[in-house]
Structure 1
Amino acid sequence: MVSIRVRQISFAITAVLLGWGVGISVVEAAPKTLTVYSGREKDIMSPLIEKAKKDLGINIEVRYGDSTELAIALIEEGQNSRADIFYAQDAGSLGAIAKENRTLAIPTQLLNKVDRQFRSSTGQWVGISGRARVIDYNTKLVKTSELPTSVMQLSDPKWRGKVGWAPTNGSFLSFVTAMRLLEGNQKTLEWLKAMKANNAKAYSGNSAIVQALGRGEIALGLVNNYYLYRFITKDPKFPVAIHHTRGDAGALINVAGLAVLKTTDQKTDAEKFVAYMLSPDVQKFLTQKFYEYPLVKGIPVSQKQLPLNQLQSPQLDLSKLSDIKGTLSLIQEAGLL
């Protein structure tokens, strides 16, 4: 009897409202949007995002920027951030936000797709693709017998005005942070100052360095491994080659990776996105299209690159590359900013 009476009252109220000309509509919940803060370039991310939207059935928006700047922004935004995912081009930026307690733990089944070396030691982020620090060199200007065995040798007077670097680039910051961990702050500061005194030429990024190498403007360049192959694909006679050092910061293997942020209200979709980026299709795309190192087992490297297991990289916990502020301060003290 009570339920019948409730329905009668409901019908009566509806009739009155309709009599007054008040319309009743059903409000559908607006579809949610997964917001990604991306330190990865738009030319890489756009095709991935469009494919992810289609394959996952998720609406995705991307805010692009420098990884370091986005990490600082996420820390400053705190609980007010609208971001769900941070896709950084280096482990240092990922470690910085994890250190500030801005991240959620990645599910174990996703972490286990990647070797321990390439994920957070506390499970707060996971590497998606690998990038090795290398010295690119102009083959017409430098003989292989002349190549340095360590980046520490680049401050030698014989390389005066012949070395290119990108002091504000996120990957360079992680490289310097690795040097701080391996060599100590004082020795790193001395090297930065010596490089400046040796007239190392500053560029906006890795692509600009490789272009300058091709022109013969510089002889050596501190870059990531994959940039050169983009040039060689267009011009097989491009006069630049890769040189690997061993065991020093110049041989660092870093990652581009993902973190799920505490501000997300779409944890399930965020984790689906992480899983998607670790799928064989995406790993092959990053490897074959952009020449990065796949981090999921079973995906071969592209071109003539040495496999990761043949590179003699320094033994570092990538999570420890998180002190971006300390590295920026050191670079500033060296007079590079």
Structure 2
Amino acid sequence: MSAHITRRGFALLGATALAAPLAACGSDEQPAADETAAEDQPVVLYSGRNEELIQPLLDQFTADTGIKVDVRYFDSAEAAGLLLEEGDRSPADLFLSQDAGALGAVAKAGLLGELDADLLGLVPEQYRSSEGAWVGLTGRSRVMVYDPAKITADQLPSSVLDLTGEAWDGRVAIAPLNGSFQAFVTALRVTEGDDAAAAWLEGMADAPQLEKNGPIVEGVASGELEAGLVNHYYVYEMAAEAGVPVEEYGPALHYFAPGDPGALVNVSGVGALGDSAEKANVAALLDYLLATEAQTYFAETTFEYPLIEGVAGPAGQPALAELAGPAIDLNDLDDLETTVQMIQEAGLA
């Protein structure tokens, strides 16, 4: 926990100590009234995840617990930027991000408090903050989606670095404004260095650029695009929306070679602002998101990898343990600002 958060914690502790004698002098009913008022407060959630994917789960949480959730939807990088701007003045209790990089940027600024050790212990060490500032909720693998009618299996590149070669010039779409792409570029910086990452971005200058991953998959399905870089689950989501089995939808997935930066296994995750995790309603939502019901929802509805034990992964996909991304600590994906600057300097955003 940062020194800043610790000072805030001491301030709250002091306020509680001063309030205790006053409460003792008042009515015996007052503490119960205060507790009831606190329980009635909604959890304020800044979500970098799509409303269509996360809102049904939050609605179920409210139905199950009676706790309301005030959700404000953003892109993950946008939400992180807003939290950095708001600082301690932010009304947010929780930040739900589609990638570890945005969570890391907010944690690096000292805005996230330490989560409960038991909650953190539900998730493997590689999928949570080393300082306890955030915890992964789902796993997602970077892949290349492609049209098998235009690209044969023997033509597929072993490395994402190959995509800047002449053979792939202008053929592989990207979403430079999307948080998952930015997290991948940050991983590329960590594994290959800034100079190599800048060269790769410049080499992708002729790539078709779309705003999000979904339209890339739709473009491949319609034949307008040959291929694109996305997270693994989009093909399954798009097939489900189209009402057809994934095998009949069209686009296929290519997993880059083990250890390649293009095979990054990232997480969606959540962190609590300041001391918000100490609030009963906030703690209840955190527990809910890492309970069996929610983790099963993610596997069956959003086709992501659950991160707790005892919940089966999404059908038809490699097991999480089989995915071999680059040897990288997700905590090192926290320099989002430089990554965005490099993407812009390459003319990709």
TM-score by length of 1: 0.89
Alignment partner for residue 138 of structure 2, among 129, 142, 145? 129
- Structure 2 residue aligned with 1:241: 252
Aligned partners of 1:89, 1:286: CA distance in 2, in Å? 13
- Structure 1 residue aligned with 2:68: 59
Aligned partners of 1:43, 1:232: CA distance in 2, in Å? 15
Alignment partner for residue 87 of structure 1, among 92, 96, 108? 96
Aligned partners of 1:142, 1:299: CA distance in 2, in Å? 35
2:61–2:67: 8 Å Cα contact kept in structure 1?
A: yes
Shift of residue 29, structure 1, vs aligned partner: 4.5
Aligned partners of 2:237, 2:284: CA distance in 1, in Å? 30
Alignment partner for residue 336 of structure 2, among 324, 330, 333? 324
Structure 2 letter corresponding to 1:255: V
Helix, strand or coil: the match of 2:333? Answer: helix
Alignment partner for residue 308 of structure 2, among 281, 296, 309? 296
What root-mean-square deviation, in Å, do the aligned CA atoms of Structure 1 and Structure 2 show? 1.6
Structure 2 letter corresponding to 1:320: D
Mean Cα displacement is larger for which, 87-96 or 233-242? 233-242
Alpha carbons of structure 1 residues 312 and 77: separation in structure 2 relative to 1, 3 Å: same
Alignment of 1:113-124 (within 5 A): 113-124=122-133
1:177–1:324: 8 Å Cα contact kept in structure 2?
A: yes
Aligned partners of 1:230, 1:70: CA distance in 2, in Å? 24
Structure 2 letter corresponding to 1:240: P
Runs of 4+ in 1 over 6 A off after TM superposition: none
- Structure 2 residue aligned with 1:169: 178
1:182–1:248: 8 Å Cα contact kept in structure 2?
A: no
- Structure 2 residue aligned with 1:274: 286
Quick check: 1:231 aligned with 2:231? no
Aligned partners of 1:252, 1:275: CA distance in 2, in Å? 27
Shift of residue 38, structure 1, vs aligned partner: 0.3
Aligned partners of 1:206, 1:332: CA distance in 2, in Å? 19
Alignment of 1:190-269 (within 5 A): 190-196=199-205, 199-233=206-240, 234-236=243-245, 237-245=248-256, 246-262=258-274, 264=276, 267-269=279-281
Shift of residue 56, structure 1, vs aligned partner: 2.3
Structure 2 letter corresponding to 1:257: G
1:127–1:257: 8 Å Cα contact kept in structure 2?
A: yes
- Structure 2 residue aligned with 1:18: none
Aligned partners of 1:155, 1:315: CA distance in 2, in Å? 22
1:33–1:61: 8 Å Cα contact kept in structure 2?
A: yes
Aligned partners of 1:29, 1:232: CA distance in 2, in Å? 45
Aligned partners of 1:93, 1:265: CA distance in 2, in Å? 19
Helix, strand or coil: the match of 2:49? Answer: coil
Aligned partners of 1:87, 1:44: CA distance in 2, in Å? 12
Encode CA deviations 1:35-82: one digit per residue, 9 max, x unaligned. Answer: 000001101121111111122221210000011011110111011111
Alignment of 1:24-103 (within 5 A): 29=37, 31-103=40-112
Helix, strand or coil: the match of 1:130? Answer: strand
Mean Cα displacement is larger for which, 240-249 or 117-126? 240-249
Encode CA deviations 1:136-169: one digit per residue, 9 max, x unaligned. Answer: 1101011000000000001111222211100010
Helix, strand or coil: the match of 1:201? Answer: coil
- Structure 2 residue aligned with 1:336: 348
Encode CA deviations 1:190-226: one digit per residue, 9 max, x unaligned. Answer: 1110111xx2000111100001111222222100000
How many percent of aligned residue pairs carry the same amino acid?
40
Alpha carbons of structure 1 residues 79 and 263: separation in structure 2 relative to 1, 3 Å: farther
2:260–2:326: 8 Å Cα contact kept in structure 1?
A: yes
Unmatched 5+ stretches in structure 2: 1-32
Aligned partners of 1:68, 1:156: CA distance in 2, in Å? 29
- Structure 2 residue aligned with 1:287: 299
Aligned partners of 1:165, 1:117: CA distance in 2, in Å? 27
- Structure 1 residue aligned with 2:194: 185
2:214–2:238: 8 Å Cα contact kept in structure 1?
A: no
Structure 2 letter corresponding to 1:294: P
Unmatched 5+ stretches in structure 1: 1-25
Helix, strand or coil: the match of 2:276? Answer: coil
Aligned partners of 1:292, 1:189: CA distance in 2, in Å? 30
Structure 2 letter corresponding to 1:94: L
TM-score by length of 2: 0.86
Shift of residue 232, structure 1, vs aligned partner: 2.9
Aligned partners of 1:211, 1:273: CA distance in 2, in Å? 33
Aligned residues: 310
Helix, strand or coil: the match of 2:249? Answer: coil
Quick check: 1:139 aligned with 2:165? no
